[in-house]
């Protein structure tokens, strides 16, 4: 019998299968991607109140860096060796005067209204970038 879904692949977390390329990342592939603004914009709020905005021009003024990382999806697939380009989130926040945690957690909301929560110290770690290219 041929195994189409290996239980364990060297170098991957248990139960993951390796894909050759990064798919469009969504849990609703039947829907078109959300419309995105031409110019990126990161709105920063504290307790619902706006405190700063990082614009595309702000991001372009910062030194980009490459980050090689694997992507492991909870739905059991992985893509390895991806090269993400962007600016360190810590530097993007500092560019608008945010150097200290306004709250213990950071919640990121994407254009499709999905969100994820991060502990502040994790979000501003050296290896966290605000990716602009993949």
Q: What is the pLDDT of residues 71-113, one digit of tens each?
A: 998 888 999 999 999 999 999 999 999 999 888 999 988 877 7
Structure-token pair, residue 132: 């602009």
Length of the chain, in residues: 134
Which has more confidence, 8 or 82? Answer: 82
**Single pTM value for the model:** 0.79
How many helices (H) and strands (E) in the chain?
3, 8
Please state whether 75 falls in left (phi above 0), alpha (psi between -120 and 50) or beta: alpha
**Bridge partners of residue 68, in order along the sequence:** 83
Band of pLDDT at residue 6, cut at 50, 70 and 90: low
Give the list of residues 6+ apart from residue 116 with CB closer than 8 angstroms, or none. Answer: 107, 108
């Amino acid at each position: 019998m041929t195994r189409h879904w290996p239980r364990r692949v060297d170098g991957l977390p248990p139960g993951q299968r390796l894909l050759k390329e990064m798919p469009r990342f969504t849990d609703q592939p039947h829907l078109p991607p959300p419309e995105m603004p031409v110019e990126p914009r990161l709105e920063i709020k504290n307790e619902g109140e706006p405190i700063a905005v990082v614009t595309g021009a702000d991001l372009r003024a910062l030194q980009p860096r490459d980050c090689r990382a694997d992507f492991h999806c909870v739905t059991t697939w992985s893509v390895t060796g991806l090269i993400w380009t962007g600016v360190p989130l810590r530097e993007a926040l500092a560019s608008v005067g945010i150097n200290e945690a306004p709250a213990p957690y950071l919640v990121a909301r994407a254009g499709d209204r999905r969100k994820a929560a991060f502990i502040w110290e994790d979000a501003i770690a050296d290896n966290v970038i605000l990716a602009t290219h993949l």
